[in-house]
Structure 1
């Protein structure tokens, strides 16, 4: 049996960008995430939390918080994109490693825009193979230079989103350098099966994001063809246990793996009123502790 260690992230406080006046200030996020009972966090968008390692370490230590991962987008499916991707990735990886994190969560860029418009064609098999090769090399270099494990995060409206594209991505990448950040909400949003992915690819589940989707909101946004950003504004990501997937079976399956996993609570709520996140975070942690089997805080 493995272990599932729960944390949270700026995303659950309505944070999507390094700097945005609609977002929770970073000091308040750190105070509230610790006050809610979490001891583990992700960095969120690079630049949201202080990027000076000494200052950030001081802020984390006085609140009893540790960092599990950094998070960054990539666009390696595009020709001649390595240098610009590496510039962003290396900054996030350097800070995450300095904070003692073990992982870097890497997210694909989008094929659909915030208003639902198609901004790029979907990758064909040749494009998927090329992308997988590039991400494998990215993971190899991240490991070599920063000692971090690359966990790839499928994302709604991203070039890896549906179960078909997730499985294709796993086939095109090397598990020695790249594994899966299983985001339960994004998998369900795109019609995938979280339990099936855990069962089929137990050795490729390296990290987890916990979230749920409101099926009624999802059905409406799918019928209208709106993009993910608008879906979030309509509340498509919801507080457990009000949505799908059912988290206890997922947590039981994860605990049954021979692995120690971080499971980071994320509930996309951008933008949201400043007093909304903390009560949800407290209730969610209580729910996970009482229904999560092998979950530890």
Structure 2
């Protein structure tokens, strides 16, 4: 029997990467345009972009008949002994997520490149000790989120992080506890590294806890690897393209997702930072129409 796949969107699809940035669309305009595009579900996005006071955020959402699918955070867990510091950062986000009635928090691993400048911050490769710290740290973070706030950790592999290639994603899943951490399958970041989202869903059907829908320009992705172009630079080069013009085939992804054993949120996340404030809404409208037709 097919499950329920619910389409939503995120601030990222409006070019929002940071809590505060003068280049970004103001929060009230983002919320208004989400409704105009046809969506009813959103992610909280960068913590502090939308109101962090639960009552205020609830008011903004209720006045537009919007609901929250989940929160988002980065987590620097690849070094031993960092869980407590990360928890201090993540707990307020988990608390707000739960207060909005959502049960998912997308956790992105810390990048080895700066997400603005593209400069390398540390080694691209993890030692065995760091890999263990990463996986055990995500298990512990997920346990705390679930036990204290009832929020499920959904790990998001990412370009310019230590978990990007499909082999890395599979190794991460094999090394972590499904009670406390599962996969936010981001179709764009998987495709960025030449991976196969449909194959991952087939191999780990019970570990797919959440979806991020995006497509990449495959030729530009290949060039990025060949020329060592940073992810932030490729976003400025429009590597994330409006569906259905890129890869993977999101119609196929959604059909496979409908046959997984669990209900899923499928959240559109088309990186466009920085972008003109007038650019996102027409793209979001067309994307919503296209993805709705796929279901």
Moved beyond 2 Å, runs of 4+: 112-119, 124-127, 219-223
Change (3 A) 1:18 1:116: closer
Unaligned stretches of 5+ residues in structure 1: none
Query: In the aligned structure 2, how far is the partner of 1:126 from the partner of 1:78?
Result: 8
Tell me the distance in 1 between the aligned counterparts of 2:284 and 2:83: 37
Partners in 1 of 2:136 and 2:234 — Cα distance? Answer: 32
Is 2:122 the partner of 1:97? no
Which residue in 2 is equivalent to 1:26?
27
Describe the superposition over 1:172-198 as per-residue Cα deviations: whole angstroms up to 9, x where unpaired: 100011000000000000121111100
Deviations 1:128-147 (A, max 9, x none): 22311111011011001000
Structure 2 counterparts to residues 45-64 of structure 1, below 5 A: 45-64=46-65
Q: Which residue of 1 aligns with 2:121?
A: 119
Give the one of 270, 274, 293 matched to 1:267: 270
Distance 2:174 2:128 in 1: 11
- TM-score, structure 1 normalization: 0.96
Alignment partners' CA distance in 1, 2:53 and 2:114? 32
- 8 A contact 1:116–1:225 mirrored in 2: no
Measure the CA separation in 2 of the matches of 1:262 and 1:269: 21
Post-superposition offset of 1:73 = 0.4
1:80 is the counterpart of 2:114: no
Contact 1:194 1:250 in 2 (8 A): yes
Pairwise CA RMSD: 1.1
- Identify the residue that residue 244 of structure 1 maps to in structure 2: 247
CA distance in 1, matches of 2:49, 2:85: 20
SS at match of 1:175: coil
Matches within 5 A, 1:169-180: 169-180=172-183
Q: Cα distance, 1:116 vs. partner?
A: 4.4
Whole-angstrom CA distance in 2 between matches of 1:178 and 1:232: 28
Given that residues 76 and 135 in structure 1 are in contact (C-alpha distance below 8 angstroms), is that contact kept between their aligned partners in structure 2? yes
What is the number of equivalent residue pairs in this alignment? 292
Q: Deviations over 1:243-274 (max 9, x none)?
A: 00011111111001111000000100000000
Shift of 1:32: 0.2
Report matched runs for 1:124-163 at 5 Å: 124-163=127-166
